[in-house]
A and B are shown apart, each in its own frame.
Chain A
Amino acid sequence: MRKILGLVLVPLVLAAGCGGGGGSSGGGTPPPPPPPPAQVIAPPGPPNVERIIVDSGPAGLTLTAVNTAYVSVNVCQPGTNTCKLIDHIEIDSGSVGLRIISSELAGITLPAVSSGPNAECLAFADGDSWGSLAVADMELPVSGKKAAGITVHVIGDPSVGAAPSFCQGMKTENTVADFGANGILGVGPFINDCNSAGDCGHGTQSANYYTCTAGGSSCSQATATLAQQVPNPVVTFAADNNGVIIELPAVSGATQASPTGSLVLGIGTQSNNALGSATKLSANASTGNITASLNGTNFQIAYLDSGSNANFFHDSALTVCPAPNAGFYCPAAIVSENATLTGAGAVTLAAPFSVDNAVNMFSQNATYTAFPDLSGPAIDNTAFDLGLSFFFGRNVFTGFESVSANTEPYFAY
């Protein structure tokens, strides 16, 4: 059997009966969504469009990746043409920074950062990644976009030793097999992975910096200045640096094998990346969250995240799949959901999607990797996460914060 489990199950007990929530009082029926304009996907190429593929993931995975968007990235020794083209870098709008599994850098040598902390522990929700901080030129091979001399996280780099006890989390994710990708390109709406406006103090964020002796025999907690933190690489581009658009085609039927789409760089900077008729939902400047409602239930923590492989929200009317797929919903028949997203200033946007039976969809074709109707239960009743399922058939904008312009991050589609 294949399949990505939103849930790792060891024997027995499953998080018993999640009550509460449900559809209660009125609040009015959201207006019906306007007919969506025909989707236009920018063709990959210069100067600002990179090719995305949603496939089964890199070699070496023991399960097939589903609803995971990848690009290829050319990683170069700074100022040189000595580069390594690395495929299957996950596009994640829910994290920030370029992180590469060290084994994929074989053949080139990236210099360590010249000052400041030289190691990082990055906590994802599902586990921790440990590695060194190095300097690289990042080139996106199709668009030709370049980020010169940026700090990147080299995960699993032996130069800072094996993951220390303080960087274990629920799982260690320091190899391709454990990470599910050869690296990750975090294009979340923040300018770097810790503090947008000042030093990154240790213990304040999911990004934690360290200074290690050679080989990592000793590592101490460190503060990273603004310039020493891992940046959002897109922010460092000379142009088209204020956001990204993830453009994935609609998928016919429940499933489709390996669709391709585009990662468009910049918003409103070229003829191919205008906001157009998309509705802009400004997010909380600190958290990047908006709010949502569904069937009369309000969710205070809502977001669109290409790094989530399903839509995750609590709806007690939906049946959770049996193990080992209990991270997903398995309704008896397809369910239409009409959520409403709300950004700052009470701007609202309809978010219609469907929930189909995950086990049935997975069993239909074991080679398929795109499932627009895949959803699962959120562990947090206040959270509403529209993952990659929601991105198919829509151009989803992630607008970056701007510290200099004092503007908050936003979503749009």
Chain B
Amino acid sequence: MKLTHTVVTSLLLTAGACAPAFAGLGGDATSVDADRVSVKGTVRVTTSAAGFAVHEISNASGLRIQEYVGANGKVFAVSWRGPGVPDLSQMLGTYYATARTAAAGPHYDHHHLTVATRDVVVQSSGHARSFFGRAWAPALLPQNFSVQDIR
């Protein structure tokens, strides 16, 4: 596929994480780039002084996905913003089933959802043509990382 990889900064990336690959929550960033393929996106990698990398995929329709990768190469958080909602089974990876089980039950406001379990937190909001969501695995968060920085 015609995909462009632009590495913006790579300060703290380990050698293994240098290839901007993608995985769902909890996955190994070096092993999969299914998300990039599934949204037909281009990739940008930035890093933070806090020792994690943000892999960002954007596609032509304006969907932007971010995957937050810890120093151990594991995706500890993901977010999405844009006119649609990406495939959450892929975004949430092995946490998807847990999150869905937690979301089961009555919920009638179609524009907001928060699911919080010990293993995974998923938040989703938005209206037609403008959505935002994020998810993280509390056990995987780097020390001193604020979930408010998942944007």
Contact = CB atoms under 8 A, between A and B. Distances in A.
Interface of A: 4-16, 18-21, 57, 61-63, 65, 68, 92, 94-96, 123-127, 165-166, 168-171, 173, 177-181, 184, 186, 188, 190, 193, 201, 203-208, 286-289, 301, 303, 305, 307-310, 312, 326-327, 376, 378-383, 385, 387
A376 B113 CA distance: 12
A61 B147 contact: no
B6 interface: no
B130 A303 contact: yes
Interface string B108-151: 11111111111001111111111111100010000000111001
A306 B61 CA distance: 26
22 contacts: A6-B109, A8-B102, A8-B113, A13-B121, A14-B116, A15-B121, A18-B147, A19-B146, A94-B128, A95-B110, A96-B128, A123-B85, A125-B113, A125-B124, A126-B110, A127-B103, A168-B89, A171-B113, A206-B129, A379-B112, A385-B112, A387-B111
A95 B128 CA distance: 5
Interface of B: 38-40, 61-63, 83-85, 87-89, 99-118, 121-134, 138, 146-148, 151
Contacts of B85: 123, 125, 169, 206
Contacts of A301: 130, 132
Contacts of B61: 201, 203-205
B125 A125 contact: yes
Contacts of B39: 203
B49 to A, nearest CB: 18
Given A205-B61, A288-B128, A12 B109 contact: no
Given A14-B116, A307-B111, A308-B109, A168 B129 contact: no
A409 to B, nearest CB: 10
Contacts of A177: 106
A313 to B, nearest CB: 11
Contacts of A124: 110-111
B24 to A, nearest CB: 14
Contacts of B121: 13, 15
A171 B83 contact: no
Contact of A312 (B88, B112, B133, B138): B112
B109 A126 contact: yes
A286 B129 contact: yes
A123 B84 contact: yes
Given A205-B61, A287-B130, A380-B132, A127 B125 contact: no
Given A15-B147, A171-B103, A380 B127 contact: no
Contacts of B103: 8, 126-127, 170-171
B84 A308 contact: no
Contact of B112 (A123, A205, A286, A308): A308
Nearest to B115: A8
Contacts of B40: 203
Contacts of A380: 125, 132
Contact of B83 (A63, A180, A206): A206
Given A126-B124, A383-B125, A383-B132, A166 B112 contact: no
A118 to B, nearest CB: 21
Nearest to B62: A286
A126 B124 CA distance: 6
B130 A305 contact: no
A165 B89 contact: yes
A95 B117 contact: no
Contact of B129 (A125, A288, A310): A288
Tell which of B62, B113, B128 has the most Cβ of chain A within 10 Å: B128
Contacts of A179: 108
Contacts of B146: 19-20
Contacts of B117: 10-13
B125 A379 contact: yes
A341 B128 CA distance: 20
Contacts of A14: 116
B116 to A, nearest CB: 5
A305 B121 CA distance: 25
Nearest to A173: B110
Given A7-B116, A94-B111, A206 B131 contact: yes
B118 A12 contact: yes
Nearest to A310: B109
A13 B128 contact: no
A62 B148 contact: no
A222 to B, nearest CB: 16
